[in-house]
Amino acid sequence: MFSTTDTADAISLASVQAAAQRINGFAHRTPVLTCHALETIAAGENGAPKRLFFKCENLQKVGAFKYRGALNAVKKYLQEKTEEGDTTFVTHSSGNHAQALALAARDADCKAVIVMPNNSPSVKQNAVRGYGAEGTVALELLEQVKKEFGVELDAILVPIGGAGLCSGVAMAAKSVQPSIKVFAVEPTGAADAYNSLQKRELMGHTGPVNTVADGLRTTLGDNNWPVVRDFVDEILLVSDDEIVSAMKLIWERMKLVVEPSGAVATAAVLAHKLPAGIANVGIVFSGGNVDLEKLPWTQKASA
């Protein structure tokens, strides 16, 4: 039996490249899309033009980037294991990671045991980390933007919760293109990563956690903190109103299903929270698992 809470290998460009080889042919190479309407809003009335490039991990298997990490963890363990017999993978998760491990284990012809709290969003219950694999999002994004659009990114914006995705993206992006800026985006109601970076020491939540972005309520991980500290340029905060507004615009203008946690990076851009002088911006849609019975704008309207 193998638990995905075991200590992970250190994140490095080599580990990201190795992960890319392991998951090739299984994980989707998700598209990079643009949206003129959102670019216009991001520029503002008198702002400099911005080009926004959206990496659509909401279109990944299980609807989230976490399939990459789960699949990498499964395949890496199977490559390295020495004992005989069947393998069962075990994890505890409130949603996307549970779905990801279940599918990754199935794709590897193994069993998985998933422990989920009974208050998980129903879409994540019904659909039921390998460090380094999340960085493949950045490698693909940089390559796709340069090949398909003929430009280099000035910055990447990525959600941050436990920081598996953020740390992988930041390390990989900076290793390939050292001049690029990496901005993590966090809800104001779950700002432990922001506080940690401000104080330059790992901190947990100092008060109640309250945000519509349920996937970002977790605390910043011990293993991910050094990477965030050393590779993330700044953490931007967005309110729940800004998150819901951005999410709704993505649904309306891009015709894409993105969950609140996946919309936080877009929220930061649309709220003009980026420093001046950044023109070409990569944005990661981290996931698209939404309970359609509880859309945040309908919940707000009925409150």
Per-residue pLDDT in tens (0 to 9) along the chain, 303 residues = 433 333 334 578 999 999 999 999 999 999 999 999 999 999 987 677 789 999 999 999 999 999 999 999 899 989 888 787 888 888 776 567 788 888 998 988 888 887 766 655 554 444 444 456 889 999 999 999 999 999 999 999 999 999 999 999 999 999 999 999 999 999 999 999 999 999 999 998 988 999 999 999 999 989 899 999 999 999 999 999 999 999 999 999 999 999 999 999 999 999 999 999 999 999 999 999 998 888 988 875 555
Tokens matching residue 266? 């877009």
Let me know: does 266 contact 213? Beta carbons within 8 Å: no
235 and 287 within one domain: yes
- For position 86, which CATH number holds? 3.40.50.1100
Amino acid residing at 62: V
Q: What is the DSSP letter of 12?
A: -
Active-site option among 50, 61, 66, 75: 66
Tokens matching residue 47? 């702002």
274 and 139 within one domain: yes
What's the number of domains the chain is made of?
A: 2
Residue 214 exposure: Cα atoms within 13 Å on the Cβ side = 19
Choosing from 103, 126, 149, the residue where a domain stops is 126
Go through 185-195 and write b for each residue having 16 or more CB atoms within 10 A of its CB, e for each that does not: bbbebbbbbbb
197 and 277 within one domain: yes
3-state helix, strand, coil in the chain (%, to 5): 50, 15, 40
Count helices and strands (H / E) in the chain. 12, 9
239 catalytic? Reply is no
Which one, of 227, 212, 233, 258, lies nearest residue 9 by Cα?
227
The per-residue DSSP string of 33-72 comes to: E--HHHHHHHHTTTSPP-EEEEEEGGGSGGGBTHHHHHHH
Sign of CA dihedral 255, 260, 263, 268: positive
Tokens matching residue 252? 């309306």
State the alpha helices, DSSP H only, in 24-65: 36-43
94 catalytic? Reply is yes
Residues 6 or more apart from 190 whose CB is under 8 A from it? 161, 205, 209, 210, 211, 213, 216, 217
93 is in which domain, residue-wise?
A: 66-126
What pTM did the predictor assign?
Answer: 0.88
56 and 43 within one domain: yes
Choosing from 106, 126, 146, the residue where a domain stops is 126
